[in-house]
Chain A
């Protein structure tokens, strides 16, 4: 691995209409999870792109991105890992051969690491994958889980840029926790409240510019707990339905008419199947 990345500093540039960005400077540290929020077209992807390219006032946004305190003026190879919903596996080979190929391309001895990646993938994904499964035939959720596990273990890039993790049967919270626990800087553009609140800090984008930087407050921490509980409940219900069970049944979770999910105790007209 190359040099340690302790800090990324973003120096504000201009918005789409040419005015100065509201945020003049923001700093992101090792182990941080940062989310970028804002409507489509507000400039989230462009900010990710500025970070990836280490903008020096030469991109359309006129931003500058500084590594550590400026002693690195260029990413060394493979310092930035990227993940987006548009990414697919295209190599036609079994999971373990693929991981071996990736590990050997990075000069890592492969056996224990392959097991680690597959184990991690199966913690992230509801449907386990096998070492001999072909990577191109994995489901969307399995592919995404494998990509994340692979970035965490084999890629070893100190910075991970994510353009939305979809809710496709993977544990998104665990994914972010794993990446952050590996000491990476994780920057995620997202529309998902759960992901947004998972980050301690979020950058609000507006009209191509960084508009606000918000720290998660106490109230939001409570809301996050509720969201996590709701997400767990939804995934239980999702699994039941996907496994061919009826949603309605003893002790199972249903949504009541006010929209929240709760356990159904007995026959009651208060509930409807969701």
Chain B
């Protein structure tokens, strides 16, 4: 079975791109199942179901979506095996931009759109740099120059990635994505595999439902911004 993770900022077109791509796979008689991880609520499950394929949806709710994602990988993998899937596509929408769901030995796709900030590579670092394929959407509404600049930015962050431009509305370009999906490695088991990038730490009083603001309510792993004016920089 091929196990493929798909990540990207909200509204970048992940689901739209995948639906077009899955249609091509189904036309070739490939057995596809989809897993979708989200935070609060999603209708994407129904969109995939309309394709007539098995879908599993996981909502992280009160838990950090990244930390929800990893323990559920085996659940999804085993479910897909039971469905005798040839390709499992796991779309992760809930992950924060610090995280990347990419797994060593499994095809990893990131979807970004031409309308997002030109500095997006800095903002979502690992999600882009750990991907095997970077899909760029919404190219139909920006200039050729911007498409080229955007693409170049992606190449600089992730020189090894295959970069594909796909139109989520018309599906243009999804055929090439399908071809690349078919070349994804076969995976026997997910257990024991490793993430390509670490997850951020998250053990503090707010993780367990604390709502009050103030030093005395903050327990666990807490880090404060140094209150000096700096020229940007991280955290």
- Partner-B contacts on A (CB < 8 A): 49, 52-53, 58-59, 77-78, 81-84, 86-91, 98-99, 101-102, 105-106, 143, 147, 150-151, 154-155, 157
B145 & A154 in contact (Cβ 8 Å cutoff): yes
Contacts of A157 in B (CB 8 A): 144
Contacts of A150 in B (CB 8 A): 143-145
Contacts of B175 in A (CB 8 A): 53, 58-59
Digit string of B133-164 for contact with A (CB within 8 Å is 1, else 0)?
00000011111111111011100000000010
Given contacts A53-B175, A53-B176, A59-B175, contact A88 B141 (CB under 8 A): yes
Given contacts A78-B148, A106-B148, A155-B148, contact A87 B143 (CB under 8 A): yes
- Residue in A58, A78, A89, A106 whose CB lies within 8 Å of B143: A89
- Residue in B24, B145, B172, B173 whose CB lies within 8 Å of A147: B145
- Residue in B143, B163, B170 whose CB lies within 8 Å of A88: B143
B141 & A87 in contact (Cβ 8 Å cutoff): yes
Digit string of B98-132 for contact with A (CB within 8 Å is 1, else 0)?
00000000000000001100100000000000000
The 3 A-B residue pairs whose C-beta atoms are closest, nearest first, are: A105-B152, A102-B145, A81-B144
Contacts of A88 in B (CB 8 A): 141-143
B148 & A53 in contact (Cβ 8 Å cutoff): no
Q: Describe B's contact surface by its main secondary structure.
A: helix
Q: How far is the CA of A150 from the CA of B145 in the complex (A)?
A: 7
Question: Can you give 29 A-B contacts (C-beta < 8 A)?
Answer: A49-B170, A53-B173, A58-B24, A59-B175, A81-B144, A82-B139, A82-B144, A82-B147, A84-B140, A87-B141, A87-B142, A88-B142, A88-B143, A89-B142, A89-B143, A89-B146, A90-B114, A90-B142, A91-B118, A99-B145, A101-B149, A102-B148, A102-B149, A105-B148, A105-B152, A147-B145, A150-B145, A151-B144, A151-B145
Contacts of A147 in B (CB 8 A): 143-145
A105 & B142 in contact (Cβ 8 Å cutoff): no
Contacts of A98 in B (CB 8 A): 145
Contacts of B148 in A (CB 8 A): 78, 102, 105-106, 155
- Partner-A contacts on B (CB < 8 A): 24, 114-115, 118, 139-149, 151-153, 163, 170, 172-173, 175-176
Contacts of A59 in B (CB 8 A): 175
- Residue in A52, A86, A106 whose CB lies within 8 Å of B141: A86
Q: How far is the CA of A81 from the CA of B115 in the complex (A)?
A: 18
Q: How far is the CA of A155 from the CA of B152 in the complex (A)?
A: 12
Which residue of chain A is the closest to B149 with respect to CB atoms? A105
Q: How far is the CA of A78 from the CA of B165 in the complex (A)?
A: 11
- Interface contacts beyond A49-B170, A82-B147: sample of 14 additional A-B pairs, CB < 8 Å, sorted by A: A53-B173, A53-B175, A77-B151, A78-B151, A87-B142, A88-B141, A89-B146, A90-B115, A90-B146, A91-B149, A105-B149, A150-B143, A151-B144, A154-B145
B142 & A83 in contact (Cβ 8 Å cutoff): no
Most chain A beta carbons < 10 A, residue from B114, B139, B143, B148: B143
Q: How far is the CA of A23 from the CA of B175 in the complex (A)?
A: 24
**Distance in Å: Cβ of A182 to nearest Cβ of chain B:** 14
Q: How far is the CA of A89 from the CA of B149 in the complex (A)?
A: 12
Contacts of A81 in B (CB 8 A): 144
Most chain A beta carbons < 10 A, residue from B140, B148, B172: B148
Q: How far is the CA of A97 from the CA of B107 in the complex (A)?
A: 37
Most chain A beta carbons < 10 A, residue from B114, B115, B142: B142
